[in-house]
Amino acid sequence: MITLAPADYTAIGLSIKIAVTAVGISLPFGFAVAYLVTFTRFRGKVLLEAVVNLPLTLPPVVIGYLLLLLLGRNGWLGRLLDGLGIRIIFTWKAAVIACAVVGFPLMVRAIRIGMEAIDLRLIQASRTLGAPWYDTLASVILPLSRRGVIAGSSLMFARSLGEFGATIIVAGNIPGVTQTIPLAIYDYVASPGGEPMAAALCLVSITISLAVLILHERLSRRDRGVA
């Protein structure tokens, strides 16, 4: 039988909290970027696409380091926040930011695929029927890209649960504060006799991932039934 230490429950709770928050914060931005890239033409679009996709090709450790430079005591954003009394580095908020940045391209990609599948004529029909662009966005594009939004959110959630490299650099590995499931597993594996505990957490990790996958399937199937 698997036994989990109280610290493990904290790590599980923290992982889920960080992943949910990262998805919640990224969703409006991911949707906006996917909309811009799919439906509008503007100068610098290629640059935006490149920047959004950069985390996909960079090692997470590099992203973590760059975030540290940006948000640290001497980083320009860090100094600004420090002046306001907000500390990000080595808190769970830093883990959220790390997860959001690393998972962002996956989310944008999934939403974009959903949006590209929308028939352009539907958007034109809505405009000629009297809807300004923001109305079309809310009444046609949003409901018709629901599947992409669901896919993007579950992808990012799953990716966040597994985030290690960027998190350990900006948030550290502080038990009870920033130690998520992967970091706890790392600690167990690194310490002698920790293998059974590591295996137990691995099992938890697999269970959560499966649950997310099943939920995603359910939601998108129901959606197909509606459409």
Partner 1 sequence: MELHLSLTKRFPSFSLALDQRLQGDRIGVFGPSGSGKSTLVNLLAGLERPDAGRIVLDGEPLFDSAGGINLPPEKRRIAIVFQNAHLFPHLSVRDNLLYGWKRTPEALRGIGLESVVEALRLEELLQRGVTNLSGGEKQRVALGRALLANPRLLLMDEPLSALDDTLRFQIIPYLKSVSERFRIPYLYISHSLVEMRLLTEQVLAISRGDATAPLPPEELALQRMGTSQVGFINLLRLAEPVRSDGLLLYRWGDVTLQLTGEPNGTSETLYELSSRDIILCRQHPAAISARNLLPCRVARIIPAGRKVGVALDLGDRELVAEVVADAATELAIEPGAPLYAVIKASAFRRLG
The site for partner 1 (CB under 8 A) is made up of 119, 121-122, 124-133, 135, 139-140, 143-144, 226-227
Looking at the Cβ atoms of 5 and 122, the one nearer to partner 1 is 122
Q: Closest separation between CB of residue 150 and partner 1, Å?
A: 14
Q: Closest separation between CB of residue 147 and partner 1, Å?
A: 11
Q: Closest separation between CB of residue 151 and partner 1, Å?
A: 17
The long-range contacts involving 56-64, CB below 8 angstroms and separated by at least 24 positions, are 56/105, 56/106, 59/165, 60/98, 60/102, 60/163, 60/164, 60/165, 60/166, 61/165, 61/166, 61/169, 63/98, 63/101, 63/102, 63/165, 63/166, 64/98, 64/165, 64/166, 64/167, 64/168, 64/169, 64/170
Q: Closest separation between CB of residue 133 and partner 1, Å?
A: 8
Q: Closest separation between CB of residue 36 and partner 1, Å?
A: 19
Looking at the Cβ atoms of 139 and 207, the one nearer to partner 1 is 139
Looking at the Cβ atoms of 9 and 133, the one nearer to partner 1 is 133
Looking at the Cβ atoms of 144 and 212, the one nearer to partner 1 is 144
Looking at the Cβ atoms of 136 and 173, the one nearer to partner 1 is 136
SS (H, E, C) 92-146: HHHHHHHHHHHHHHHHHHHHHHHHHCCCHHHHHHHHHCCCCHHHHHHHHHHHHCH
